[in-house]
Amino acid sequence: MKSTMLQYEGSVEEAVERLLQLGVFKSKADIFRVGAMELAAKYGMVKSKEEIIEELLYKDAAPALRKLRAGKTKLHNIKEI
């Protein structure tokens, strides 16, 4: 784990204090961690929430698709069910 000392003032200071007062975050460290991750996602350095969800959905669907393609299972029309 790494540690960094930050100095900030003005609107950043006001925003940090307000987020703490509202209970949105428990600590200043949490605010800056989330900010860093948001920037990393914005600039494509980490996967976005949508990409992670898509991967999870594909991971769950892949075995079912393999069975369907292999003829080991079939799809039913929703109107027939």
Residue type, 51: E
> What is the amino acid identity at position 47?
K
Judged against a pLDDT cut of 80, whether residue 68 lies above it is answered with yes
pLDDT of residue 45: 92
Tokens 């600590």 correspond to what residue? 27
pLDDT at 81: 75
Q: What pLDDT, in 10s, does the model give residues 41-67?
A: 889 898 888 888 888 888 878 888 888
State how far the Cα of 3 lies from the Cα of 6, in Å rounded to an integer: 10
Per-state percent for the chain, helix, strand, coil, to nearest 5: 60, 0, 40
Full-model pTM: 0.58
Summary mean pLDDT of the chain: 89
Domain ranges, ordered by start, for the chain: 1-46, 47-81
Which tokens belong to 64?
């079912």
What is the DSSP-derived secondary structure letter of residue 2? -
Count of all residues that appear for the chain in the document: 81
